[in-house]
Amino acid sequence: MWLCLAVLVGLYYLLRWYRERQVVSHLRDKYIFITGCDSGFGNLLARQLDARGLRVLAACLTEEGAEQLRRQTSDRLETVILDVTKTDNIAAATQWVKEHVGHRGLWGLVNNAGTFHTACPTEWLALEAYMNTIKVNLLGLIEVTLNMLPLVRKAQGRIVNVSSILGRVAFLGGVYCSSKYGVEGFTDVLRRELQHFGVKVSIIEPGYFRTGMTDQKRITEKIKQAWEEVPAHIKETYGQKYFDAFYDDIKQGLLNCSTNLNLVTDCMEHALTSVHPRTRYSAGWDAQFFFIPVSYLPTSLADYILTRSWPKPAQAV
């Protein structure tokens, strides 16, 4: 019995390996639009796809980021300035893409633009931090998708949404997790609706990686700022010892983030170029071997594993 089961599992993975190695034809004629290309995953993916010969349309938040990317890539790559929180910006970028792709449509849309305010207890953050994060990570992604969708549908192409492993397992940074849970839900619905049009939708769930968003200095300064601005009664509830321990834990944890961003961009590239892309890609050892297994555990056990090392607030029961 066990031998038969092992054979079946082996055949399944062999078949999956074979299917996933099949590559879409005529890649050099296909256009890919990527948001958030100033740095991090988006910047690396734009350079990676450009080197492979695809026609990359890279959206950057700043002209400085766009100029730097152009210097690192071929003449095929084109850039546009895009703030995904501004409707008029998105409309202009959509028209720009439409003029470039013409009757062929847009083969790939990569919703990579995102922001990470900071990692700290939920009640340390003002509502404004929640609103700004959700505008970029969720509402911006949705609005870009809705605008580009007719172009993707024309090409029967791909949509790749960048979420996070924290969209599967909420762990610190409540505002960030909330926005990424929203991305997960939107992507699942979109995938099921668009299958009838020949459009494939994938989601990328990176673990902890060292990018501009997770820069140690920026994050720790944000934590200090949040702590300084919380009302006195909240400071009393948590206590200075809690803050010091929490701050040190986050500072040390950021040093352990992976620097191999190719683990993520290779997943993105596969989702765009494989005949049979996966619906979900979990990138990074922490995502695959810690967070994903934890997500299948009973909630009480998962809660214990995730919080057992947290410091205790001053007024904890």
DSSP notation for the chain: -HHHHHHHHHHHHHHHHHHHT-B-S-GGG-EEEES--SSHHHHHHHHHHHHHT-EEEEEESSHHHHHHHHHTS-TT-EEEE--TT-HHHHHHHHHHHHHHHGGG--SEEEE--------S-GGGS-HHHHHHHHIIIIIIHHHHHHHHHHHHHHHT-EEEEE--GGGTS--S-HHHHHHHHHHHHHHHHHHHHHGGGT-EEEEEEE-SB-SGGG-HHHHHHHHHHHHHHS-HHHHHHH-HHHHHHHHHHHHHHHHTSB--THHHHHHHHHHHHBSS--SEEEESHHIIIIIHHHHTS-HHHHHHHHHTTSPPPTT--
If you count them, how many residues does the chain have? 317
Q: Active-site positions?
A: 176
Rounded distance, CA 35 to CA 82, Å? 8
Element (H, E) at 130: helix 127-134
